[in-house]
């Protein structure tokens, strides 16, 4: 596999996972009744959209096609989040599932950084975007912990 195709493959995986989060946050923002939580979800959806855009630009620069969809795991997680929110505390249900979505994206970013086969261009983009991924992860983790108390 060429460096360009490895870069595209690595980043397309991250695009799909980030898109899952963006779509889930966008939907959750319309479902929760708390205005502050809805605004938070909308803000984080915008961060995810920025990540998707940045990664897509890097993939396109390699001559490859950026991923256009999310993942099956993300679709299932979103479905489970809807069911969980319907059956219980809507706000906590969405926060808990979105925090798991954050865990998944953060793990994928860290895996890309620790993979010795990750090409320099992909590693540089992942390193540049990692602080945003960590920030949104921490926001949702802290929100979930605060709601549990």
* Residue indicated by tokens 């390699």: 62
Residue 53 to residue 16: CA distance in whole angstroms: 11
Collapse the DSSP code of 63 into the 3-class scheme (helix H, G, I; strand E, B; otherwise coil) and give the result: coil
Q: What is the pTM of this model?
A: 0.87
Residues sharing a CB contact under 8 Å with residue 92, sequence separation 6 or more, in sequence order: 144, 147, 148
Q: Which of 72-81, 97-106, 137-146 has the lowest mean pLDDT?
A: 72-81
Q: What does the pLDDT read at residue 1?
A: 63
Return the pLDDT at 142: 96
Cβ atoms < 10 Å from Cβ of 12: 18
Asked if residue 9 lies in contact with residue 1, where contact means CB atoms within 8 angstroms, the answer is yes
> What gap in Å lies between CA 46 and CA 92, rounded to an integer?
21
pLDDT value for 49: 97
104, two tokens? 């998944």
Contacts of 131-138 with C-beta under 8 Å, sequence gap 24+, read 132/47, 132/50, 132/51, 133/51, 133/102, 133/105, 133/106, 133/109, 134/106, 135/47, 136/44, 136/47, 136/48, 136/102, 137/99, 137/102, 137/103, 137/105, 137/106
For 105-121, write each residue's pLDDT tens digit.
999 999 999 999 888 98
- Band of residue 62 on the pLDDT scale cut at 50, 70, 90: confident
């Amino acid at each position: 596999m060429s460096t360009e195709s490895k870069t595209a493959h690595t980043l397309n995986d991250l695009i799909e996972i980030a898109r899952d989060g963006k779509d889930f946050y966008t939907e959750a923002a319309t479902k929760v009744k708390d205005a502050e939580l809805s605004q938070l979800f909308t803000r984080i959806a915008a961060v995810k959209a920025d990540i998707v855009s940045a990664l897509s630009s890097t993939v396109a620069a390699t001559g490859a096609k950026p991923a256009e969809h999310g993942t099956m795991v993300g679709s299932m997680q979103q479905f489970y989040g809807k069911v969980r929110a319907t059956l219980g505390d809507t706000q906590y249900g969405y926060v808990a599932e979105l925090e798991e979505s954050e865990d998944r994206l953060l793990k994928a970013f860290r895996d890309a950084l620790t993979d010795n086969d990750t090409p320099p261009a992909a590693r540089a983009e992942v390193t540049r975007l990692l602080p945003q991924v960590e920030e949104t992860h921490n926001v949702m983790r802290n929100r979930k912990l605060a709601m549990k108390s």
